Amino acid sequence: MVALTALLVEAAFFTQMSSSIPQTAYLKLVDIWFVYCIISLFLVVVTVAFLNWCKKCAPGWALRVSKYSSGTEDRLANRRTALAVRLNILCRLVCPILTALFFVVYLTMAALIDIPKLPIDIKAIQFS
Protein backbone atom coordinates (compact mmCIF):
# COMPACT_ATOMS: atom_id res chain seq x y z
CA MET A 1 0.00 0.00 0.00
CA VAL A 2 2.86 2.37 0.82
CA ALA A 3 4.50 1.68 -2.54
CA LEU A 4 1.27 2.51 -4.37
CA THR A 5 0.98 5.80 -2.49
CA ALA A 6 4.62 6.60 -3.25
CA LEU A 7 3.99 5.81 -6.92
CA LEU A 8 1.04 8.21 -6.98
CA VAL A 9 3.07 10.96 -5.30
CA GLU A 10 5.98 10.39 -7.69
CA ALA A 11 3.66 10.65 -10.70
CA ALA A 12 2.26 13.92 -9.30
CA PHE A 13 5.81 15.27 -8.84
CA PHE A 14 6.64 14.29 -12.40
CA THR A 15 3.64 16.05 -13.90
CA GLN A 16 4.20 19.17 -11.80
CA MET A 17 7.90 19.29 -12.67
CA SER A 18 7.21 18.70 -16.37
CA SER A 19 4.76 21.58 -16.49
CA SER A 20 7.08 24.01 -14.68
CA ILE A 21 10.15 23.62 -16.91
CA PRO A 22 10.44 24.55 -20.59
CA GLN A 23 9.11 22.03 -23.11
CA THR A 24 11.75 20.48 -25.36
CA ALA A 25 11.72 17.84 -28.07
CA TYR A 26 14.37 15.75 -26.33
CA LEU A 27 14.63 14.01 -22.97
CA LYS A 28 16.07 16.00 -20.13
CA LEU A 29 17.99 14.52 -17.22
CA VAL A 30 15.11 15.25 -14.87
CA ASP A 31 12.80 13.26 -17.18
CA ILE A 32 15.15 10.29 -17.08
CA TRP A 33 15.36 10.56 -13.29
CA PHE A 34 11.59 10.61 -12.80
CA VAL A 35 11.01 7.79 -15.28
CA TYR A 36 13.52 5.64 -13.41
CA CYS A 37 11.86 6.43 -10.08
CA ILE A 38 8.40 5.63 -11.42
CA ILE A 39 9.58 2.38 -13.03
CA SER A 40 11.41 1.26 -9.88
CA LEU A 41 8.36 1.98 -7.69
CA PHE A 42 6.13 0.11 -10.15
CA LEU A 43 8.51 -2.87 -10.04
CA VAL A 44 8.37 -2.82 -6.23
CA VAL A 45 4.57 -3.03 -6.37
CA VAL A 46 4.71 -5.89 -8.90
CA THR A 47 7.36 -7.72 -6.87
CA VAL A 48 5.37 -7.48 -3.64
CA ALA A 49 2.28 -8.79 -5.43
CA PHE A 50 4.26 -11.65 -6.98
CA LEU A 51 5.86 -12.60 -3.65
CA ASN A 52 2.43 -12.62 -2.03
CA TRP A 53 1.12 -14.84 -4.83
CA CYS A 54 4.09 -17.21 -4.40
CA LYS A 55 3.49 -17.46 -0.67
CA LYS A 56 -0.24 -18.11 -0.95
CA CYS A 57 -1.09 -19.58 -4.36
CA ALA A 58 1.96 -21.02 -6.13
CA PRO A 59 0.94 -24.28 -7.83
CA GLY A 60 2.34 -27.58 -6.63
CA TRP A 61 3.82 -28.49 -9.99
CA ALA A 62 5.99 -25.38 -9.91
CA LEU A 63 7.24 -26.33 -6.44
CA ARG A 64 7.72 -30.01 -7.35
CA VAL A 65 5.22 -31.29 -4.82
CA SER A 66 3.24 -34.39 -5.77
CA LYS A 67 -0.50 -34.44 -5.18
CA TYR A 68 -0.46 -38.05 -4.17
CA SER A 69 2.10 -38.07 -1.33
CA SER A 70 1.19 -37.82 2.35
CA GLY A 71 1.42 -34.41 4.05
CA THR A 72 1.12 -32.65 0.73
CA GLU A 73 -0.55 -29.51 2.10
CA ASP A 74 2.14 -28.96 4.77
CA ARG A 75 4.96 -29.55 2.30
CA LEU A 76 3.28 -27.26 -0.21
CA ALA A 77 2.89 -24.47 2.37
CA ASN A 78 6.51 -24.86 3.50
CA ARG A 79 7.80 -24.78 -0.07
CA ARG A 80 5.67 -21.76 -0.92
CA THR A 81 7.07 -19.87 2.06
CA ALA A 82 10.63 -20.94 1.23
CA LEU A 83 10.22 -19.80 -2.38
CA ALA A 84 8.85 -16.42 -1.29
CA VAL A 85 11.75 -15.96 1.15
CA ARG A 86 14.36 -16.86 -1.49
CA LEU A 87 12.81 -14.52 -4.05
CA ASN A 88 12.64 -11.74 -1.45
CA ILE A 89 16.35 -12.16 -0.69
CA LEU A 90 17.11 -12.10 -4.42
CA CYS A 91 15.14 -8.89 -4.84
CA ARG A 92 16.90 -7.32 -1.88
CA LEU A 93 20.21 -8.00 -3.60
CA VAL A 94 19.25 -7.13 -7.18
CA CYS A 95 17.40 -3.85 -6.54
CA PRO A 96 20.29 -1.97 -4.88
CA ILE A 97 22.71 -3.26 -7.52
CA LEU A 98 20.45 -2.02 -10.33
CA THR A 99 19.99 1.31 -8.55
CA ALA A 100 23.76 1.75 -8.16
CA LEU A 101 24.23 0.87 -11.82
CA PHE A 102 21.61 3.46 -12.79
CA PHE A 103 23.34 6.10 -10.64
CA VAL A 104 26.68 5.42 -12.34
CA VAL A 105 25.16 5.68 -15.82
CA TYR A 106 23.05 8.71 -14.89
CA LEU A 107 25.92 10.63 -13.33
CA THR A 108 28.18 9.75 -16.25
CA MET A 109 25.56 11.10 -18.66
CA ALA A 110 25.23 14.24 -16.55
CA ALA A 111 29.00 14.76 -16.53
CA LEU A 112 29.35 14.29 -20.28
CA ILE A 113 26.60 16.67 -21.35
CA ASP A 114 27.98 19.64 -23.22
CA ILE A 115 26.54 22.81 -21.70
CA PRO A 116 26.51 25.54 -24.34
CA LYS A 117 28.21 28.82 -23.52
CA LEU A 118 25.88 31.79 -23.61
CA PRO A 119 27.19 34.77 -25.59
CA ILE A 120 27.14 37.30 -22.79
CA ASP A 121 29.47 40.28 -22.98
CA ILE A 122 30.32 41.26 -19.43
CA LYS A 123 31.80 44.61 -20.54
CA ALA A 124 28.55 45.63 -22.21
CA ILE A 125 26.61 45.19 -18.97
CA GLN A 126 26.65 48.37 -16.94
CA PHE A 127 26.49 48.04 -13.20
CA SER A 128 24.87 50.93 -11.40
Q: pLDDT tens for residues 77-118?
A: 888 888 889 999 999 999 999 999 999 999 998 898 877 777
Q: How far apart are CA 39 and CA 35, in angstroms?
A: 6
**Within a 10 A sphere around the Cβ of 67, how many other Cβ atoms?**
8
Q: pLDDT tens for residues 2-28?
A: 778 888 888 888 888 888 888 888 888
Q: What is the pLDDT of residue 69?
A: 61
Chain centre distance of CA 5: 14
Q: Is the pLDDT of residue 128 over 60?
A: no
pLDDT band at 67 (very low <50, low <70, confident <90, very high): low
pTM exceeding the 0.85 threshold for the entire prediction = no
The domain ranges of the chain are 2-18+28-112
Closest CA to 1 of 39, 43, 48: 48
